[in-house]
C-alpha cells in the first residue's frame, strides 16, 4: 500500500510538472515533450522488473530484493524535488532501478503463498490488488490536490518519498508473517550480496539516466530484450517438454494482449491527465485551483473503482467456476481490451457532443472513461499476474513475472508516443484544433482495442488448448 502511495503520488503530478517546469518555454510542444519523458520513465519502471526478478530468483531472495528496492526508490523520490532537469532525471533513474527490484517480486511472493492448483489464487491476487490500490487512491489527494495546490507540485514528490520510507519500515516490521516465503536460499544469505547488488542497481540507474534522454535508443532496447526473452522461454520450453513449451507459447500470446491493453490504458498518467487539466470542467473548486493541482484527483478514480469492484470480481470468478460459466483467461483478456476501447469511445462522444460554451467537457465523462478502463483492468491485470505464476515453471517464475512487466514496459513506451501525438497540439479550450486532436487519437485507440479484443475472443479456444488445463 505505501509503495503504491509513493508511486502513484508522484505519477499523478509527473507529466504536468515536467511540462510546466522544464519544457514550458516550448509552448504548444511542452505536453508532447513531457509525454515522451513520462513514457520513457514508465517503460523503464516495468522493463527493469526482468532484472529484479532474476536477482530475486538467483541472488538475493525476494524479501531482501524488495528491501533494497524500497531504499533506492525513496532516495530517488527525494532527488525529484531538485528543480534541475539533470537532477530530476537522476531521481527518475533511481526510482526506476529501485522499482525493478520491488514491483515484480512482491507479486511473485504472493504466488508462492498458494499451493499449485489452489483455486483461491485468482481471488488472492485480486484481494492483493485491492489492497495496494488503497495507497494509490489516497496518494493523488495528498500529493496533487492538497500539497501541489497549496505549496507547489514539487513538494508532492517529497510526500511520495515519505510514503516510501513508511513502506520500508512496514516491510521490516511485518515480514515475519511470511514465514520462509521469500527468504534467501541457504548459502545466499550473506549481506555482502545485498551491498554488491546495491552497487549494481546504482550502475543500472546510470544507464537509465542515459536512456531517459535517448527515447529512440530505449525503444530498440525494449524490443531486443523482449525478443531475447521470447527465445529464452522457447528454448526452456523445448528442454522441459512439449506441454511446458506450449504453455510458454500461450503465455507469450497473452503478453501481446497485455501490451496492447496497457498502451491504451496508460494514457491515464499522460494525455488523459493533460486532458483533465485543460479540457475538463472542474470536479470541485475554481479553474485556477483545478489547473494548479486539483486535476490530479482523476488519478484516484482508477484505484477507487478497484476498491469498489475488486471484491465483486474476486467473488464472481469462483462462483462462475462452480456454475461452469467462468470465462477462460484468454476471454477475460479479450473482455478487458474491449472495455478499454469503449472507455475512449465514451470520451470521443463527449468531445463531439457535450462541450460547453467554453469548450470544456463535463468531468463525469472522463470519470466514466476511467470506470470502463478499470473494469477492463480487473479482467486482465490480477488475472494475468496469477496466470504467470501458473504457466511458468517453478524455476522461472520470477523471470516470467519480469517478462509480464516487460510487456507492460513496451506498452508504456508506445503509450508515451501516443500521448505526445494526442496532447501536442496546443493548450487551452480556445484551441479547437487541440481538443480535436485528442478526439481523433482516442477514436483510433477505440478501433485498435476493439479489433484486438475480437481477435482474442476468436482465438481463445486455441490459446486454452496450449495452456493444457491451466485456468
Phi and psi torsions of 326, nearest 5°: -70, 120
Q: Any idea what DSSP says for residue 326?
A: P
The pLDDT assigned to 432 comes to: 57
Count of CB atoms within 10 A of residue 195's CB? 11
The pLDDT assigned to 334 comes to: 97
Distance between CA atoms of residues 434 and 431, nearest Å: 5
Q: State pLDDT tens for residues 41-57.
A: 999 988 887 788 778 88
Residue 361, strand partner residues: 280
**What distances in angstroms separate CA 59 from CA 68, 184, 234, one per listed residue?**
13, 8, 24
2-467: CATH homologous superfamily?
MFS general substrate transporter like domains (1.20.1250.20)
Output the pTM of the full model.
0.87
CA dihedral 387, 389, 393, 399 (to 10 degrees): 110
Cell numbers of 100, please?
Answer: 525493478
The pLDDT assigned to 7 comes to: 87
The pLDDT assigned to 433 comes to: 65
Residue 280, strand partner residues: 361
How many CA atoms, within 13 angstroms, populate the side-chain half-sphere of residue 173? 6
The pLDDT assigned to 428 comes to: 46
CB of 412 closer than 8 Å to CB of 255: no
The pLDDT assigned to 292 comes to: 86
The pLDDT assigned to 425 comes to: 57
Please, which contacts does 194-200 make with residues 24 or more away whose CB atoms are closer than 8 Å?
194/60, 194/64, 194/68, 197/55, 197/59, 197/60, 197/65, 197/68, 197/101, 198/68, 198/72
The pLDDT assigned to 53 comes to: 77
Count of CB atoms within 10 A of residue 155's CB? 16
Which stretches of the chain drop beneath a pLDDT of 70? 425-433
Q: Domain residue spans in the chain?
A: 2-467
Amino acid at each position: 500500500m505505501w509503495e503504491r502511495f509513493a508511486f502513484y503520488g508522484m505519477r499523478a503530478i509527473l507529466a504536468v510538472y515536467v511540462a510546466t517546469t522544464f519544457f514550458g518555454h516550448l509552448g504548444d510542444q511542452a505536453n508532447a515533450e513531457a509525454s515522451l519523458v513520462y513514457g520513457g520513465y514508465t517503460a523503464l519502471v516495468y522493463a527493469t522488473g526482468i532484472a529484479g526478478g532474476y536477482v530475486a530468483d538467483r541472488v538475493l531472495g525476494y524479501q531482501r530484493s524488495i528491501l533494497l528496492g524500497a531504499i533506492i526508490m525513496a532516495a530517488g523520490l527525494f532527488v525529484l524535488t531538485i528543480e534541475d532537469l539533470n537532477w530530476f532525471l537522476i531521481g527518475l533513474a533511481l526510482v526506476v532501478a529501485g522499482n525493478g527490484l520491488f514491483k515484480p517480486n512482491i507479486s511473485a511472493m504472493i504466488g508462492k503463498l498458494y499451493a499449485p492448483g489452489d483455486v483461491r489464487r485468482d481471488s488472492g491476487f485480486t484481494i492483493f490488488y485491492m489492497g495496494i490500490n488503497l495507497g494509490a487512491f489516497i496518494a493523488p489527494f495528498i500529493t496533487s490536490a492538497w500539497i501541489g495546490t497549496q505549496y507547489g507540485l514539487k513538494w508532492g514528490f517529497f510526500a511520495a518519498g515519505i510514503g516510501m520510507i513508511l513502506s520500508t519500515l512496514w516491510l521490516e516490521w511485518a515480514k515475519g508473517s511470511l514465514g520462509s516465503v521469500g527468504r534467501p536460499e541457504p548459502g545466499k544469505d550473506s549481506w555482502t550480496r545485498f551491498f554488491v547488488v546495491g552497487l549494481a542497481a546504482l550502475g543500472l540507474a546510470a544507464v537509465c539516466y542515459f536512456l531517459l534522454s535517448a527515447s529512440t535508443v530505449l525503444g530498440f532496447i525494449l524490443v531486443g530484450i523482449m525478443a531475447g526473452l521470447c527465445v529464452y522461454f522457447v528454448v526452456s520450453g523445448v528442454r522441459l517438454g512439449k506441454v511446458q513449451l506450449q504453455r510458454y507459447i500461450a503465455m507469450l500470446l497473452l503478453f501481446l494482449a497485455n501490451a496492447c491493453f496497457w498502451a491504451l490504458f496508460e494514457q491515464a498518467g499522460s494525455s488523459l491527465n493533460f486532458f483533465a487539466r485543460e479540457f475538463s470542467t472542474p470536479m470541485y473548486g475554481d479553474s485556477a485551483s483545478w489547473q494548479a493541482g486539483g486535476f490530479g484527483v482523476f488519478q484516484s478514480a482508477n484505484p477507487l473503482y478497484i476498491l469498489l469492484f475488486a471484491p465483486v470480481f474476486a467473488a464472481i470468478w469462483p462462483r462462475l467456476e462452480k456454475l461452469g460459466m467462468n470465462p477462460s483467461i484468454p476471454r477475460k483478456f479479450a473482455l478487458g481490451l474491449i472495455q478499454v476501447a469503449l472507455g475512449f469511445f465514451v470520451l470521443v462522444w463527449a468531445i463531439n457532443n457535450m462541450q460547453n460554451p467554453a469548450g470544456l467537457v463535463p468531468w463525469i465523462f472522463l470519470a466514466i472513461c476511467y470506470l470502463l478502463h478499470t473494469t477492463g483492468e480487473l479482467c486482465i491485470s490480477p488475472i494475468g499476474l496469477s496466470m504467470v505464476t501458473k504457466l511458468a515453471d517453478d524455476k522461472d517464475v520470477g523471470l516470467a513475472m519480469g517478462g509480464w512487466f516487460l510487456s507492460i514496459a513496451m506498452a508504456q513506451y508506445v503509450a508515451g508516443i501516443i500521448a505526445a501525438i494526442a496532447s501536442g497540439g496546443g493548450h487551452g479550450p480556445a484551441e479547437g484544433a487541440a481538443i480535436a486532436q485528442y478526439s481523433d487519437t482516442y477514436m483510433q485507440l477505440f478501433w485498435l482495442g476493439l479489433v484486438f479484443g475480437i481477435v482474442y475472443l476468436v482465438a481463445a479456444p486455441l490459446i486454452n488448448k496450449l495452456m493444457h488445463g491451466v485456468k
